[in-house]
Chains A and B, each alone.
Chain A
């Protein structure tokens, strides 16, 4: 029984595993999972591989239905799923993006060292906790009206920078410069707007967090230097959040709309959560226009939080912004669908690349990268769980060839939230982390227990697979010092 997966999942090499298209009637392409053999049992057990199979049913899918090594059970698509469909005759599926549209991470670097920050850590964490709204149903201190919200949805981060939240350089170092084109607020329901209005500039809850980190390993000095990471002990700040209630509602609205369209276009799918419509259809185009609104909302959200992180450092440390630094290394989405050009069977095709719990990983030389990263490749940010470490990597040519320029997005869960909670108490976890010098501040101790290290795969193992497979390359690693959980 333990080896049952061997009948279904075939080894291509140490890090690539295939599910052949004859496994299930209706599969249009093979499934391909990037993983090590030791992580496969888990993927089998939680049925995530069946979701890789289901995704391969989508009309117009090209290459493989892909899964990154942090794959775990999702709904519709697995988390860690990547699928590219032809724009001319393929479909777009809101389930391939997920509820938290443009959930993503942003990394800031400081000029500060571990020695400078350590004595003030408590003050810093407290300043950030009180300055940045977090927690369940958290509402922002930013009061915006409906007109502002329209600008947020159409202009993204640039709106925030113009309002004084951040600097122009932040935009350059954000995927899509913090604004996905084609956003149309008329395609976003009133309900979504109502949910989004009070929540702009909030961290939210669940797995969202703010983390003060210290660099502890540098694997490639030259590339690290190009990102402004100069030495171990350098302090970084990582922000992980998304589009809040606005994104959830857009996803819900369009799964409903596309669910009806799926039938109308005569598309057969094995799971209702994979509801989809042709990319070129009115329904598909409307979804992409609404999704872009939510994506821009998420970038604005991270932009506002960035500004408050900077404010908090200035306040807590009593130093000037130049001395502190806090310049942006990069900001990437890990739940999004993008229209991109890729080579498929020797021909350049325009594709709709769904990344659900996966990160874009474009190589050096790609025209979409900002000039400062053109020679090194796109920075890839891979947060681990709060007790371990996070990685910084870069995109590669192999990713471009094999995974539509994608790699993993994090550690991936191995334990359900209730199982994680059963064995552990939030207060014990805070204490244990405290003993190791990691300070945690959170809104709910229960949600802390759910996010314990034990509930996640070791991100090192995940990153090792991407490294060996060559779909991203390690640059540096950072360990947490102070964590704010929503």
Chain B
């Protein structure tokens, strides 16, 4: 099964992430987002960063989670390609994120993402089983 796909909109770009459970959806959405920023295969997962984010519901949590990762990229140059979700309730996510600080000689930075948005935001159980998460990014 595909872990994520890119949704095309006229001005922006979105991610549709899939998973057997919510943790997988969140991890795949994060991977999808970093794949827009850089070539995630070239990220060396040498360092670990622990993250804890809260929000009023699971949809807002997806936005908050992605925005936390963007914040770490922008302020500390973190690039991640592996996410181990250690706790996920509707209101809180705890994760171990693996990656490195961007090295411009190896990590080509393709695109700036301003933020994850709440527009057409979706985190749902699929009728055929598994979960799906959709989020539009402002770029």
Binding site for B on A (CB under 8 A): 46, 48, 72-76, 79, 98-100, 135-137, 191, 194-195, 204-206, 245, 248-249, 251-252, 255-256, 259-260, 271-273, 275, 413-419, 444, 446-447, 450, 486
Contacts and interface: CB of A to CB of B under 8 A. Distances in A.
Contacts of B17: none
A48 B37 CA distance: 26
Nearest to A443: B109
Contacts of B59: 272
Contact of A75 (B8, B73, B111, B117): B117
Contact of B121 (A195, A260, A272, A418): A272
Contacts of A446: 110-111
B10 A413 contact: yes
Given A75-B117, A76-B119, A249-B71, A256 B10 contact: no
Given A137-B112, A272-B118, A75 B67 contact: no
Contacts of A248: 114-115, 138
Contacts of B111: 136, 205-206, 444, 446-447, 450
B110 A255 contact: no
Interface residues of B, number: 35
Contacts of A194: 75
Contacts of A447: 110-111
A450 B67 CA distance: 23
Given A98-B138, A259-B118, 5 more contacts: A75-B118, A191-B71, A256-B55, A272-B119, A418-B8
A75 to B, nearest CB: 3
A195 B74 contact: yes
Interface string B49-79: 0000001100110001001000101110100
| Residue of B8, B11, B119 with most partner-chain A CB within 10 A | B11
B74 A252 contact: no
A275 B10 CA distance: 22
Interface string B102-133: 10000011111011011111000000000000
A204 B118 contact: no
B112 A136 contact: yes
Nearest to B13: A417
B60 A259 contact: yes
Contacts of A416: 8-11, 13
Given A191-B71, A418-B13, A444-B109, A206 B119 contact: no
A5 B74 CA distance: 42
A75 B12 contact: yes
B118 A136 contact: no
Contacts of B112: 136-137, 204-206, 486
B96 to A, nearest CB: 21
Contacts of A260: 56
B31 interface: no
A144 B110 CA distance: 28
Pairs of residues from A and B, 5 with the lowest C-beta to C-beta distance, nearest first = A75-B119, A272-B118, A273-B119, A416-B8, A75-B117
B6 interface: yes
A72 B11 CA distance: 7
A342 B117 CA distance: 32
A446 B56 CA distance: 37
Nearest to A199: B74
Contact of B118 (A74, A100, A255, A415): A255
A99 B138 CA distance: 8
Contacts of A204: 112
B67 A252 contact: yes
A446 B38 CA distance: 11
